[in-house]
Structure 1
Amino acid sequence: MALPAQDALIDLMIMAASSDMMMTEAELRRIEGLVQRLPVFEGFDGDRLAEVANECVDRLNAGQMLEDAVREALAAVPERLQDTAYALAVDVIAFDLKTSQEELRFLELLRDLMPLDRLTTAAIEAAARARHRRLPD
């Protein structure tokens, strides 16, 4: 059964957050905040968020290959929302301002499987870094 588009977007955020093998509470709260406030999630039942996230993690823990999971999620996202899907994944990864090699590899995999040009993905990445910067201590 195909994933609903909103579930697929959440799956991509969960995969992004867990790509470094350490999904933090802050990343989960970030995902929850994005789901609560972005127009693409209008009509999504917020009470289902934990269920959708757990199903994604369960599939990966059961041995589904990451590339297959990404392909499945992207197949459920309409083409006009592919840039949104990438932006959501980047936003979750950029949230802590520390990007690991595993997270960079996940973004590379995502870019390779999407119909987005490099200029678009670079702009999305730069915008995420700018949004998450903090004032120096």
Structure 2
Amino acid sequence: IILIAFLYLEPIISEKINLLSLSMKLILAIVVSVLLAVIGTLLFPEFAGYGVNIYAVSGGSLLGLSVGYFLEGEYVKYEPSELNSKQKVINLTVGIVLLLIFLVFIYGLITGSDILLFIQNVILSLIITLLIPFIFSKINRS
């Protein structure tokens, strides 16, 4: 049922969101992500599971991915389809190495409460969707 609803509503909602300004898209992303984390945590605390609040993880990831996606599309404009196979392999290798370095650094630096877990996932998602494509766009220009 959820998949059918998504398939039906996605084109309609995407069309409406594309009409919004960048600042409105960012505000919408922040509000939806924070509400997901807060409401999920308050309504379903028993689903925290294994000592990790899944709502903090999912809300933080959603915020980082959506903000990174909007900013990358507006400012970075990384286009991997224009690369040859060698450049794609180099980008993949560099991306995995950078992500592992950032993972170790951020997981070691930011630990603790649900709010810090939320922030940790925002930062990691922004790195994936914004910082790494920015680095790739600079590498591929030269």
Work out whether the TM-score is over 0.5: no
Between the two structures, name the one with larger relative contact order (CA 8 Å, sep ≥ 6): 1
Q: TM-score, normalised by structure 1?
A: 0.28
Quick check: which has more Rg, 1 or 2? 2
Higher helix share: 2
